[in-house]
Amino acid sequence: MILLSNNSYRTELKVFPKNWQTSKASIKKDWFIFYRLYSSKSLETGKFKDIKLIVLKGMNHFKEWQERVTKTKKIIADEYLRLNNLESNNKKVEALDALNIYEIPPTTTFIEALRLAEKRINAAPSTKRDLRSTLHFIANAAEKLNYTNLRICEVSRKHIKNLLFYIDTTNGESIHRYNKQRSYLMMIYKELLELEAVDYNPLRDISKKKGVQKLRKVLSIESRQKINEYLRIHHYRFWLFTNIFFHSGARLTEIMKIKRKDIDLEKQTFLITIKKGNVYKEVLRPIKNIALSFWIEATADAEEEDYIFSKGLLPGRMQIESYQITKRWNLHIKKKLGIQEDFYSLKHLNLDQIAELLSLADAAAMASHSSSMITSKYYTTYESKRQMERLKLIENNF
C-alpha cells in the first residue's frame, strides 16, 4: 500500500492482460490499467466497503501490438505523475515506464532495453555519463543500420560488431573509443543477462582492438615549477588541491569524495572507498610528511560532514564531479601556460618517483594496486629505464 496525502492508500498500477509486454498478448481484447483506493478507516477496521476501483483506458484503438504497448506505457507514466502530487513522500516520478523498471522482457526493442538496463546500473557519475554517451552513439548507429525495430532477444554478435564498426568508421577510427564503448556495452549486457532479457552476452566474443601502448608523458621539472608558481599566485585553492592530489596516490574521483570525518591528521591517514571488480572496500591511505601542511590548511574550516573540496574547491556539503578539475587544468594550464600534459599525469609522476626512491612495491601500495605489475605497466613511466640502467651495472663474468 502507498500512502497518499489525504490519508488514503492505493495499490500499485497493474495492466490487463498480464502478458501485455509480450507479443503473445491479444490485441483483440480490450486492455486496461487499474488500481484500487482505500481509506485509512477501511484498513484499520478491515472492512473494505469503501474501496474505489480506478480503471484507465485509451490504448485500444491501436491495432498494432507495439503501438498499444507504447501508449499503455504513456498512460501509466502520466498517471504516476498525477498521483505524485498526492503521495506523502513526494518522490519524483519520471515519465517513463514505471512497470518496466522492474522487468525487461526479451521482446523489448533493442535501444529501449539498453536504456532501461543502463538506468539500473549503479556506478560513479562519470561512468554513468559515459554509459549515456555510449548509448547515444549506439542509438544513432542503430537507426542508420535499421536495427531499431529489432527486439533485444534478436540482437546477435554480428549486430553489435556492425554497430561498433559503423561508429568507428564514421567518427574517425579510435582504438581507445572502440574499446571503451565495447566495455560499456558489456556492462549493460551483463545487466540484461542477469535480468534474463538475453541468453548470452555477445560482447564477450568481440575482441578488443589492439594498438601501440604509448608511454604517458610526465611533467618536466621546469613545467612543474611553472605550474606550482602560477597556481599558488593566481588560483590558490586549486594549487592546494593539486598538491594534495599529487602526493595522495588516489584517483581523482576518490579525492572528490573525501569528507573531513575521513581524515585523521594526528595519525596522518585518510579513508577512501575504492572499487575492485564488483567489490567496494574502504582503504586507509597515508598522508606524507611533506603533504601534511596542505591537508591541515585544506581542512581548517571544514565540518565533519563537509567534503574537503566542494564548490570553489572549498569545504562544503555538496560533492562536485571530477571533470571540473580537468576543466580547470585545461583552462589554466594547457591553454594559459601551453603545457600539454594532462592532470592525471601527476599521479603517474608521483608513483614513478616513489618507485625510484623506495621500490615498485611501495608505489603499488601507495595506489592500492593489487599487484606491482599494474603499477609498472600503467604508471611508473621510467621504471623500465631504471631497470635497464641497473642491469648495465652488473659485472658478471663469463
**Residues 227 and 369 reside in one and the same domain:** yes
**Residues 178 and 244 reside in one and the same domain:** no
- For residue 21, the enclosing domain spans 2-84
Which whole number is the average pLDDT over 370-384?
69
CB environment 205-228: b (16+ within 10 A), e (fewer) = ebeeeeeeeeebebbeeebbebbe
Answer positive or negative: Cα dihedral of 169, 171, 175, 179. Answer: negative
User: Does pLDDT of 368 surpass 70?
Assistant: yes
Residue 266 forms part of a structural domain:
yes
Least confident interval from 18-22, 87-91, 170-174: 87-91
Cβ atoms 177, 132 nearer than 8 A? no
State the distance between the two ends of the chain, measured CA to CA, in whole angstroms. 85
Residue-averaged pLDDT of the chain: 83
- Nearest CA-CA partner of 80 in 58, 102, 95: 95
**Residues 160 and 226 reside in one and the same domain:** no
In whole angstroms, give the CA distance from residue 375 to residue 74: 51
Cβ atoms 275, 377 nearer than 8 A? no
Dihedral of the CA atoms 290, 291, 295, 298 (nearest 10)? 110
What is the model's pLDDT at position 50? Answer: 52
Q: Which of 118-122, 175-179, 216-220, 284-288 has the highest mean pLDDT?
A: 284-288
Residue 398 forms part of a structural domain:
no
Cβ atoms 273, 281 nearer than 8 A? yes
The residue among 372 and 86 whose pLDDT is bigger is 372
Residue 17 forms part of a structural domain:
yes
What is the model's pLDDT at position 278? Answer: 58
**Residues 172 and 35 reside in one and the same domain:** no
**Residues 40 and 159 reside in one and the same domain:** no
How many structural domains are present in the chain? 3
The grid coordinates listed for 273 are 572507498
**Residues 25 and 154 reside in one and the same domain:** no
Q: Is 130 exposed, middle or buried (0-12, 13-18, 19+ CB in 10 A)?
A: middle
In whole angstroms, give the CA distance from residue 301 to residue 152: 53
Of the pLDDT bands very low, low, confident and very high (cuts 50, 70, 90), residue 164 is very high
Q: Give per-residue pLDDT as tens, 319-331.
A: 988 889 999 999 9
**Residues 196 and 225 reside in one and the same domain:** no
In whole angstroms, give the CA distance from residue 94 to residue 111: 18
**Residues 252 and 349 reside in one and the same domain:** yes
User: Does pLDDT of 46 surpass 60?
Assistant: no
Residue 236 forms part of a structural domain:
yes
What distances in angstroms separate CA 353 from CA 205, 249, 327, 378, one per listed residue? 40, 11, 26, 14
Residue 97 forms part of a structural domain:
no
Of the pLDDT bands very low, low, confident and very high (cuts 50, 70, 90), residue 33 is very high
**Residues 294 and 356 reside in one and the same domain:** yes
Residue 394 forms part of a structural domain:
no
Which whole number is the average pLDDT over 218-223?
85
**Residues 67 and 147 reside in one and the same domain:** no
What is the model's pLDDT at position 238? Answer: 95
CATH number for the domain harbouring residue 193 = 1.10.150
User: Does pLDDT of 140 surpass 70?
Assistant: yes
Give me the residues paired with residue 272 across strands: 283
**Residues 234 and 346 reside in one and the same domain:** yes
Give me the residues paired with residue 9 across strands: 3, 38
What is the model's pLDDT at position 190? Answer: 92
In whole angstroms, give the CA distance from residue 251 to residue 241: 13
Domain stop point among 84, 102, 128: 84
In whole angstroms, give the CA distance from residue 274 to residue 287: 17
**Residues 231 and 308 reside in one and the same domain:** yes
In whole angstroms, give the CA distance from residue 359 to residue 375: 11
CATH number for the domain harbouring residue 227 = 1.10.443.10
User: Does pLDDT of 41 surpass 80?
Assistant: no
In whole angstroms, give the CA distance from residue 11 to residue 83: 12
Reported residue count of the chain is: 398
What is the model's pLDDT at position 377? Answer: 65
The grid coordinates listed for 176 are 581507445
Answer positive or negative: Cα dihedral of 60, 65, 67, 70. Answer: positive
User: Does pLDDT of 229 surpass 70?
Assistant: yes
